[in-house]
Amino acid sequence: MPDHANYECMVFAECPVSPITNPPEYEKIKILRCLMLKEKNPERWNLLMGLESHAEVRKQNFYAVSSNHSFFKFIKQECMMNFSFEEIHHAAGVCAVNSYGTSGLLGHGNSDGHSRYD
């Protein structure tokens, strides 16, 4: 069974989540998936929590703070998940610091995406 079936699809089936049609908003799903590791895969959650997030620096960055508020609203209000702001802030930071954009890298024009370092 694909990972998304055990993670965000279960949440979306039970909660009134607005459809995400804007590709930059897929970041919300990535953050949700990371947070769900806490219950679904504690070993990987511990690895995630050990990664650098530049939390203090990101708290001083307007874009990072506003993005985190958007993630918080999505995860708490739309997905009805019980994660703290600090957990959401850390997961967002880990994704920002430990991944890289793949825009057009594979010759697919304007395709946007992110890959993570393993």
Rounded distance, CA 9 to CA 2, Å?
10
- Number of residues that this document lists for the chain: 118
The pLDDT tens digits of the residues spanning 6-24 come to: 678 888 888 878 777 887 7
Residue 37 domain flag: yes
CA atoms within 13 A on the CB side of 48: 28
Residue 110 domain flag: no
Q: For the whole prediction, is pTM greater than 0.85?
A: no
What local confidence, expressed as pLDDT, does residue 5 receive? 66
Please indicate whether residue 35 or residue 67 has the higher confidence score (pLDDT).
35
Residue 118 domain flag: no
Residue 33 domain flag: yes
Residue 36 domain flag: yes
What residues make up the domain containing 86?
25-95
Residue 56 domain flag: yes
Helix ranges (H only) for the chain are: 3-6, 8-14, 26-40, 42-49, 55-58, 62-73, 85-97
Q: Please give the single-letter amino acid code of residue 86.
A: E
Place of tokens 């995860």: 75
For the chain, what is the domain count? 1
What local confidence, expressed as pLDDT, does residue 84 receive? 93
Residue 91 domain flag: yes
Residue 111 domain flag: no
Q: What backbone torsions phi and psi does residue 75 show, to the nearest 5 degrees?
A: -75, -40
The pLDDT tens digits of the residues spanning 13-62 come to: 888 787 778 877 888 989 999 999 999 899 999 999 999 998 888 888 88
